[in-house]
Each structure stands twice: as C-alpha cells, then as structure tokens.
C-alpha cells in the first residue's frame, strides 16, 4: 500500500491515499507532496508543507470557483490545471512569487476569456429579443387594418414606435458592445437579462416619446404631418438607441410644466 511519503509512485487512475480521490491527471508529485486533478475535475493536493502555501489556497479556490461558474467543464479544465501549477511550484520548493506569477497568468486568461464570453452572451440576448420584435413588426404591419379596428390610429402609432425603439436599442447595443464591461463574478443569467432589458428599455423610451408627441408635449407639429408613422418609427428608433435623449426630453418637459 502506498503511504503519504511515497506520492511519487502514484499515477493517473490510482486512488490518492490521504484524500481517497481518484487521480485523473497528475500535475506534480514527489515523496512529500502531490498535486492532481481528481475524476470530478477538482484541484486536489496533499502535503506536509501546508505552512509554505500562505494565501495561495484561497486564491486558487476562488478562481477555480469562478472558472466553474463561467465555463463548460471542458473549457474550465485547462484553466484549473494551470491554477494547480501554483500549488506544485510552491510545494516543489520554489518561491511563492513564482507560484503567484502562474496564478496571475491563469487569472488574466480566465478574466479575458470570461469577459468576452459574457459580452457575447449580452449581445446574443439582445439579438434574440430584437428578432422577436422584428417578427412582431412584420405581423403588425401585415395586420395593420385589423389592429386599427380594435385600438385606433394613435395607439397603433405608439405601439409601432415602441417596437422600432427596440430595434434602435439593438443597434446601440451592437455599436457599444466593445465597451460593455461585464463583471465575471456575476452569473451568466444576469448578463442575459441585462441584454434583454436593454431592448425593453428602448421599447419603453420610444413608446413614451410617441405618447409625448401625441399629447403635444414635444414635437407636436408631427401630428399634422401626413403619414407621420414614418416619423414615429424614426424617432422611436433614435430614442431607443440613445440613453441620453430621453432624460434630456424629460428635463425640457419639466421646465415647460
């Protein structure tokens, strides 16, 4: 039977005696320590040199958790193997700053990859929402006469302007996507919701602008323009695309009132 002082005899597929875990991949082992990935893709280590590790276990555990949250099991595996090298370097007698450099390198890769993936998640959520809006626009225009028989022209103009606001919001999302700075410690679902809410915000803003026009609170002259639905659609798209235009409009209305 292999004892704690004979870790160097262990190989992939063996059961590590101190923790009882099956070794999937051996990172580094000697007679006094072992660092490995177990069959659940978790970083494991065992040694009688715990006092030399300092804050390294806390850092590695934190970023291992982040990797598991962000990536698929296959994607996170390589990052966790790199993090495990941090344990290996210190336990192998090297200075802690060598291990820290390895951990920092892993953290940089995790952060860069994670932010890009979350940015794509945000954009895809916006794209899916806009596809739904596009389908609604086509159906609404095709069924215009039927809708008008129920809600009237004013309500239809506001509704259509709102939908175009969603399209404008998506254009804004795409043009600003490179500046979107996702927080990698937050769940992927939150970034998905954020992308959807950006489109909903555009719909609401465009709808409120259209209501303001109908109520003659702003741009009231538009109501006298023939086929002003095109103007409503344009202003809706512009309003949905801008996060600045609506607050400035509200301020102007407040000054009037």
3-state secondary structure of 90: helix
Q: Report strand pairing: 15-16 vs 21-29.
A: antiparallel
Q: Give the pLDDT confidence score for residue 66 in this predicted structure.
A: 94
Q: Give the pLDDT confidence score for residue 196 in this predicted structure.
A: 93
Q: How many helices (H) and strands (E) does the chain have?
A: 7, 4
Asked whether the beta carbons of 237 and 171 are under 8 A apart, the reply is: yes
pTM: 0.76
Strand partners, 33: 47
Q: Give the pLDDT confidence score for residue 181 in this predicted structure.
A: 84
Task: Give domain limits for the chain.
Answer: 4-94, 118-256
Asked whether the beta carbons of 174 and 123 are under 8 A apart, the reply is: yes
Per-residue CA distances from 33 to 4, 61, 210 (Å): 8, 18, 70
Q: What is the mean pLDDT of each run of 10 residues along the chain (257 residues)?
A: 67 91 93 92 85 82 94 92 90 81 93 93 93 93 88 87 90 84 87 92 87 73 64 76 59 52
> CA-CA distance, 16 to 137, in Å (whole number)?
62
Q: Give the pLDDT confidence score for residue 214 in this predicted structure.
A: 79
> CA-CA distance, 113 to 224, in Å (whole number)?
53
């Amino acid at each position: 039977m292999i004892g704690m002082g004979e870790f160097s005899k262990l190989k992939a597929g063996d059961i590590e005696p101190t923790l009882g875990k099956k070794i999937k991949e051996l990172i580094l082992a000697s007679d006094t320590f072992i660092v490995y990935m177990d069959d659940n893709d978790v970083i494991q280590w065992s040694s009688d040199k715990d006092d030399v590790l300092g804050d390294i276990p806390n850092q590695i555990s934190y970023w291992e958790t982040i990797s598991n949250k962000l990536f698929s099991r296959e994607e996170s595996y390589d990052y966790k193997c790199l993090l495990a090298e941090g344990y290996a370097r210190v336990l192998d007698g090297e200075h802690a700053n060598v291990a820290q450099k390895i951990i920092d390198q892993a953290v940089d890769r995790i952060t860069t990859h994670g932010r890009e993936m979350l940015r794509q998640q945000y954009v895809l959520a916006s794209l899916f929402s806009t596809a739904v809006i596009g389908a609604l626009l086509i159906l609404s225009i095709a069924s215009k006469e039927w809708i008008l028989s129920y809600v009237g022209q004013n309500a239809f103009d506001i509704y259509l302007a709102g939908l175009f606001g969603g399209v404008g919001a998506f254009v804004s999302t795409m043009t600003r996507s490179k500046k979107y700075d996702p927080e990698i410690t937050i769940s992927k679902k939150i970034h998905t919701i954020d992308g959807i809410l950006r489109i909903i915000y555009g719909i609401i803003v465009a709808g409120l602008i259209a209501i303001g026009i109908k109520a003659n609170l702003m741009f009231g002259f538009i109501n006298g323009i023939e086929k002003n639905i095109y103007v409503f659609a344009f202003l809706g798209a512009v309003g949905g695309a801008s996060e600045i235009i609506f607050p400035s409009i509200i301020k102007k209305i407040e000054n009037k009132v």
